[in-house]
Chain A
Amino acid sequence: MTARPNEPERYYNYAYLDEQTKRMIRRAILKALAIPGYQAPFGSREMPVPYGWGTGGIQLTAAIIGPDDVYKCIDQGADDTTNAVSIRRFFAQVADVATTEETAEATIIQTRHRIPEKGLTEGQVLVFQVPQPEPLRGLEARETETRAMHAYEEYGLQYVSLYESVAAHGYIASTVGYPTMIEERYLMSPSPIPKFDNPKLGQNPAILLFGAGREKRIYAVPPYTNVRSLDFEDHPFETQTWEEDCALCGAQESYLDEVVLDDSGERMFVCSDSNFCAERRAAGHAGPMAGHQLAALDKEPA
């Protein structure tokens, strides 16, 4: 954890956004929390990164962050990828906030497409970067129509889509952004997290906030909320499993990324959650390729 002193000269307002923008986002957050799973529109601003790089998540974080927070940012589970490092440095600079890679130490965790393996706690806020907040968009292109479908709870089309998947593949083939039902009322996109993470959305002690910058939507799942991944009685919801263990830490229950190592097809499976994997290795756990040179990469400073 590195603390950043307050800088005497500042070129932007605290946490980058102006106060009126923060108030507008804060009001949207309160309504999103009051109506779990509902997509509240907000006046998304231009940010110093392009759409698709986390502008929604950055704006949510900017609206809630304070100097006492400890900030963690992950991209596909990893703390040490370009996008995560850049956004973490951004908030260290504009919000004088301490940053960390340790899941348990953070008060705000901004994430792109994963939920950390380690269970979250009360007092933590998980901020999701969302490219497409509308779960029905692939089935119905018109916003006016999808908004009416949410208003009147017309979700038959979504079930038809899942049924067609079963008819075509013999199982529900969707693996990321698997549709969820919030408190049996609103259909919600969990953002493109793997369906492996869907069970962590429900009854989570932390506040889950979702921000889509280009699409200008904020939605939320409050703590201890019922979240159901859609399925059929004869095709129940299942998460991914792997035959391999993590090659570096030996974890059997984490979400694994497949890494191709050379041109001859050599490959390894490693935890996508880099902090989870590093903590396990520090605790003495070792996988079959524990000494591999890739394992040394976590020494890189963030």
Chain B
Amino acid sequence: MSALLDLADIAPAFPDPTRGSQAVFRKVMEAMARPGVIHDLGFAPDAPQGLDRAAGAVALTLFDFETRIWLDPSLRGGLAEGWIRFHCGPPLTQDPMAAAFALVTDLASAPPVAAFNMGDAKYPDRSTTLVIQLPSLEGGPQVVLTGPGIKTEMPLSLAGLPDGFWAQVQANHEQFQFGVDFIFVAGDRVTALPRSTRITIKGD
């Protein structure tokens, strides 16, 4: 992790960091406020190999020297790590419990949800936010979301989730006020799932 960066390999970030990060944040805020609604981040810059545009946009908008980042092993040491280190400057960690954000690109081999920081009873906001990159936010098995931010109910059909993942998310909700929060990204698109959302698996 201490290797010098080769600046020739570093792709540019937002052409206008102020406007770019503000526009991305508003989409992410809307996503966190209305779980399951999918937003487009197609205006964001290209992200380096291994990261989709939306994943890169979320990283540029929320990561900095105050946030310890758990990077997916497949990103470590690669162009994506160099890009994030150059543009955001966050400390990196391999300890899921220490992470403010986790950037997960291979969910099947990532630690279980419960391995990340669930927050403190008095400070539940100190939990990890998992940014999970998927092949698509649509087309997978459907679950139904209810809870704050959702008027009646909201269907969500994330694709590429490993078996048993929704059960982990349900367990995460059950222990509210503790819990991690999820931002799902795929290609140019983003949606979010805070710990407050109840999940009903179809066929349950």
Residues of A within 8 A of B (CB): 13-15, 19-20, 22-24, 26-36, 38, 40-41, 63-67, 122, 147-148, 150-152, 183, 185-186, 203, 205, 207, 220-226
Whose C-beta in chain B lies nearest to the C-beta of A147?
Answer: B122
Contact residues in A for B149 (Cβ distance below 8 Å): 33, 222-225
**Cβ–Cβ contact B67 & A66, under 8 A:** no
The distance from the CB of A5 to the nearest CB of chain B, in whole angstroms, is: 16
Assess the B125–A23 pair: CB atoms within 8 A: no
- Is B148 interfacial (CB 8 A cutoff)? yes
19 more CB-based (< 8 A) A-B contacts, given A14-B22, A22-B25, A66-B26: A14-B18, A19-B21, A20-B66, A30-B28, A30-B32, A30-B181, A33-B29, A33-B149, A34-B196, A35-B176, A38-B177, A41-B125, A66-B19, A66-B23, A150-B122, A186-B177, A207-B30, A222-B32, A223-B149
Nearest chain A CB to B22 CB, angstrom units? 5
A185 to B196, CA, bound (A): 11
Of A23, A122, A150, A151, the contact of B62 (CB 8 Å cutoff): A23
Contact B125 A33 (CB under 8 A): no
Could you tell me the distance between the alpha carbons of A122 and B32 in the complex, rounded to whole angstroms? 14
Residue B17 lies at the interface, judged by CB distance under 8 Å to chain A: yes
- Chain B residues 55-93 with CB under 8 Å of chain A are 61-62, 64-67
B62 touches A27 (CB 8 A): yes
Min Cβ gap A225→B in Å is 4
Is there a chain A Cβ closer than 8 Å to B5's Cβ?
no
B124:A35 contact, CB within 8 angstroms: yes
Contact B150 A224 (CB under 8 A): yes
In the complex, what's the smallest C-beta–C-beta distance from A178 to chain B, in angstroms?
20
The answer to whether residues A35 and B18 also contact, given A30-B28, A30-B129, A64-B25 and a CB cut-off of 8 A, is: no
Q: B195 contacts the other chain (Cβ, under 8 Å)?
A: yes
Does the CB pair B181–A152 fall under 8 Å? no
Q: Which residues of chain B come closer than 8 Å to A31, judged between CB atoms?
A: 124-125, 127, 129, 181
A223:B194 contact, CB within 8 angstroms? no
Q: Mostly helix, strand, loop or mixed at chain A's interface?
A: mixed
Partner of A23 from the list B64, B177, B196 (CB cut-off 8 Å) is B64
Are B122 and A148 within 8 A (Cβ)?
yes
At the interface, yes or no: B121 with Cβ under 8 Å from chain A? Answer: yes
Q: Is B33 an interface residue (CB 8 A)?
A: yes
Q: Which size bracket describes the interface of B in this complex?
A: 35 or more
* Residues in A neighbouring B176, C-beta threshold 8 A: 35, 185
**A223 vs B36: C-alpha distance when bound (angstroms):** 13
List residues of chain B with CB within 8 A of the CB of A185. Answer: 176-177
Interface residue? B189 (CB, 8 A): no
Give A220 to B122 CA distance when docked, in angstroms.
17
A66, B29: Cα distance in complex, Å: 13
**Residues 92 to 143 of chain B near chain A (Cβ within 8 Å):** 100, 121-125, 127, 129
Give the 4 A-B residue pairs with the shortest CB-CB distance, closest first: A34-B194, A31-B125, A222-B149, A151-B121
Compute how far the CA of A207 lies from the CA of B34 in the bound complex, rounded to whole angstroms: 9
Q: Are A224 and B125 in contact (CB under 8 A)?
A: no
Residues of A within 8 A of B194 (CB): 33-35
Residues of B within 8 A of A40 (CB): 125
Question: Given the known A-B contacts A35-B125, A147-B122, are A222 and B33 also in contact in the complex, defined by CB atoms under 8 Å?
Answer: yes
Are B148's CB and A225's CB within 8 A?
A: yes
A136 → chain B closest CB, angstroms: 14
- Decide: A23 and B121 in contact? CB cutoff 8 A: no
Residues on A with C-beta less than 8 A from B148 are 36, 183, 221-226
**CB <8 Å contact, B122 and A64:** no
Within the complex, what minimum Cβ distance (angstroms) separates B99 from chain A? 13
| B-side contacts of A36, CB under 8 Å | 148, 196
B121 partner, pick from A67, A152, A207, beta carbons under 8 A: A152
